Amino acid sequence: MKKILEDIKILDFTHVWFGPYTTMMLAELGAEVIKVEPPWGTIGRMGPGELKNGVSTTFYALNLNKKDISMDLKNPEVKEMIRELVKQSDIVIQNFAPGTMERLGFGYDVLKEWNPKIIYAALSGFGQSGPYSKNAAYASIAEAMSGHTYATGKNYNYDGPPISMAGAMGDLGPAMYAAFSIVAAIRYRDLTGEGQMVDVSQFDTMTAFNCTASVAYDLFKESPIDRRHNNPRPPRVGGMLEVADGWIYLMTERPRATEALKAELGVDELTRELVMDKIGEMTRMEAHEYLAGMGFPVGPVYEAYEAMEDPHSKARGMWVEVDHPVVGKYKVPNFPVVFSKTPGEVTSAAPMLGQHTREVLAEKLGKTEEELTALEKAGAIVQWKG
């Protein structure tokens, strides 16, 4: 076994960020992911993210290692083909608004009749049950409702407004839960021979990330944000410190390191002023090297592109280049966890719309050239022409 999920076949109806990031992680661990897009392309092709050759950078980023088939799921012949593909799949995954897959005729109740071992992952804003279950959602909604938007703003300025989190964490965090739960369901299936439905809600998973804040609230019956504001602690020595060319973030909660710095400065007590006198004229990297050398947890505050250039990140093999048939080469993060026996791997750029339609339908369903041409002419499927 070269890749840990190499025997897993995923039929992927996902769109935008949440679902595509989930299936990309599984694809990087070796699963075969066949992305199903409408003939007009998923909304994720158009954004968010700047367009390059008519497709959003987000799409290029979140669809590595996937094959792409483009088909009209409302066409009866396509429905029949999907039934056959479901029979050959281990996992079906979608992040439509709840009810959409059922209207298309591909709800869990139907699919488990076709393939009782199927693991059906339904990703959504609020889950498949409960008062909001039918509501549409995006990351920003889940972030807002789970407390993160409020906390981000109040942590910055207690008297200011809430601030949206950067970086679509309301998609990426839920996607991690989804991928990990799908792998757990594979283990159950392998032990029992039974599939199951995995219902992942952005709201629930983002709320689960509040585990420490919720315990603090429940024990004190007061918001930890208000408690911190109403009971200010003495100013911290560390935190965000401005140096010659930007900021560093310093954690001073490591006794051995603080003792070393005190000895170096010849003082009994560290203060922010003393630390700044020592490092204020240094560059970020000089301050980083100096303080990390003493044992402090410390790091330069980077913009994302700077992390790509960091020598440590490069030494860990974190960046690889993919070659896209239209936009050419671009750099992407490698699978970021190192397995000693079954490493993850980025193997291909995001696909063009319908890049593999004919190939997949011929290989998996035995469709002939004539049949595929007829389906194309009828508008049931789309093949990218190159």
DSSP 198: E
Closest to ligand COA by CB, 27 or 291: 27
Instruction: Give the nearest residue (CB) to ligand COA.
Output: 96
CA gap 53, 48 in Å, rounded: 14
CB 71 → ligand COA: shortest distance, Å? 6
CB 368 → ligand COA: shortest distance, Å? 23
Q: List the one residue out of 114, 122, 117, 121 whose CA is nearest residue 90.
A: 117
Q: List the one residue out of 311, 297, 209 whose CA is nearest residue 258.
A: 297
Percent of the chain as helix, strand, coil, to the nearest 5: 45, 15, 40
Q: Binding residues for ligand COA, per CB under 6 A?
A: 16-18, 36, 38, 43, 71-74, 95-97, 100, 103-104, 123-125, 136-139, 171
Closest to ligand COA by CB, 180 or 220: 180
CB 146 → ligand COA: shortest distance, Å? 14
DSSP string, 130-144: STTTT----HHHHHH
DSSP 75: S
Closest to ligand COA by CB, 115 or 124: 124
In this structure, the chain runs to a length of 386
CB 200 → ligand COA: shortest distance, Å? 9
Q: List the one residue out of 111, 130, 88, 100 whose CA is nearest residue 19.
A: 100
CB 20 → ligand COA: shortest distance, Å? 8
Closest to ligand COA by CB, 176 or 267: 176
CB 61 → ligand COA: shortest distance, Å? 13
Closest to ligand COA by CB, 28 or 72: 72
CA gap 8, 27 in Å, rounded: 9
Closest to ligand COA by CB, 139 or 349: 139
CA gap 110, 122 in Å, rounded: 14
DSSP string, 266-335: T-SS--HHHHHHHHTTS-HHHHHHHHHHTT--EEE---HHHHHH-HHHHHTT-EEEEEETTTEEEEEEPP
Closest to ligand COA by CB, 74 or 314: 74
CA gap 24, 15 in Å, rounded: 12
CB 225 → ligand COA: shortest distance, Å? 27
